[in-house]
Structure 1
């Protein structure tokens, strides 16, 4: 009898997973970049709006850009409530058997904005030690994900060169910056959620030209 019950529960959960939409297909989750290593989703939930139930099934890094009161609910569970904080990055291993099916709603008066970086590598490992460069402070260090907090005061620079892995640099707040990538210079104003893919062995420099601190999250990619 116990075996029959467990088999029914497994079948019920399997049906639930297949009945829900993948996170990349949920209408408020917009795929803005994808390659064989990552899939980047830009997530925007309007005040009072609720996402569909959706499935997270990959290890993922989440980067919020707003302070927003939200609710969330796993399927067949009670709701949970919290407040996002811009730059308060977190990681979840959502691969089997840790798949998450949930929905999220915005309880606040402004847009809830977050980035979901799905990590698509088959292996969870970093060969090299964490970066040791000025202004980059380790935030998350797991076999799947390694992220850094970066804050640049006026005229301070982030200098990445001769690294053997790829990176994603994500802006947390709006900033006026000068960027030099493999000798090509560009001055621009970046917005929260704007990101740059830095290839292994690239020479990448970013300088804060504004009067207020420029905050970033740097994600190492296996």
Structure 2
């Protein structure tokens, strides 16, 4: 068959396009047949922003806009999740039925993942931002730092009691001073309100360090003597976690 140059070029292009289409369709069919999406480590998932880290914990700020989904991410470490701004979510799993779940603002969720691997994908099905501050405990535990406790007063309410970590919701009115205590293990604080927090300097009476905090802020904490004062003119509320 004799083809003019223009017709020959068109024929070759058509053949190439057809071959490309067949290859793309084949790849797409293979991906569907496989039925698995990419799975990443939690601290590499794009919506899990690592904001703080030390040898004990990796702290992440999770921001999921309405209609947005995370990738499937794998969790193999004990995991504490503080819901700063909750929402309805749809949670998908690779090997079991999906479920709808209400992440309530202010709640705490603990994931016991040591010694096993869990994978999930979270979709924000609500109309508001889903905002979480989460941390992974990097060492298998408990690590025997000592007994974690807080004074038995109204300012401290325990919200988490697991073998590797405990947590308390702390509420301080303007100018209020909480009873002092000793922290034995490293920890994390997550704030629900903004204001000024005063931290007493151990061994130096009337010497304090002050920090300004905002809703959703997170800080690493260290063992030692602790005394907390609300140095602002609005109520302060935050979660205080300590590793065991």
TM-score higher than 0.5: yes
Larger Cα Rg: Structure 1 or Structure 2?
A: 2
Q: Within 2, Cα distance between the matches of 1:105 and 1:123?
A: 31
* Residue 29 of structure 1, CA deviation: 0.3
| Distance (whole Å) between structure 2 residues aligned to residue 158 and residue 120 of structure 1 | 30
- For 1:21 and 1:67, the matched residues in 2 are separated by 24
Instruction: Look up the match of 2:50.
Output: 31
Match of 2:189 among 148, 169, 178: 169
Report the CA distance between 1:202 and its aligned residue. 4.7
CA 169–159 in structure 1, closer or farther in 2 if over 3 Å, else same? farther
**Is 1:89 aligned with 2:104?**
no
Residue 126 of structure 2 corresponds to which residue in structure 1?
Answer: 108
Distance 1:198 1:179 in 2: 14
| Range with greater deviation from structure 2 (133-142 or 80-89) | 133-142
CA deviation after TM superposition for structure 1 residue 168, in Å? 1.5
Residue 198 of structure 1 contacts residue 204 of structure 1 at CA under 8 Å; is this kept in 2? no
Q: Per residue, is there more helix in 1 or in 2?
A: 2
TM-score, scaled relative to structure 2: 0.74
Equivalent residue of 1:65, what SS?
strand
1:153 is aligned to 2:176? no
Contact 2:189 2:220 in 1 (8 A): yes
Q: C-alpha distance in 1, partners of 2:67/2:162?
A: 35
The reply on whether 1:64 has 2:83 as its aligned counterpart is yes
Q: 1:43 aligns with which of 53, 62, 79?
A: 62
Within the candidate set 173, 179, 191, 2:214 is matched to 191
Separation (CA, whole Å) in 2 of partners of 1:187 and 1:163: 19
Moved more, 104-113 or 163-172: 163-172
Q: 1:161 to 1:198 in 2, by over 3 A?
A: farther
Query: Where does the alignment leave 5 or more consecutive residues of structure 1 unmatched?
Result: 1-15
- 1:136 pairs with 2:136: no
- Establish whether residue 218 from structure 1 lines up as the match of residue 240 from structure 2: yes
- Unaligned segments of structure 2, at least 5 residues: 1-34, 202-206
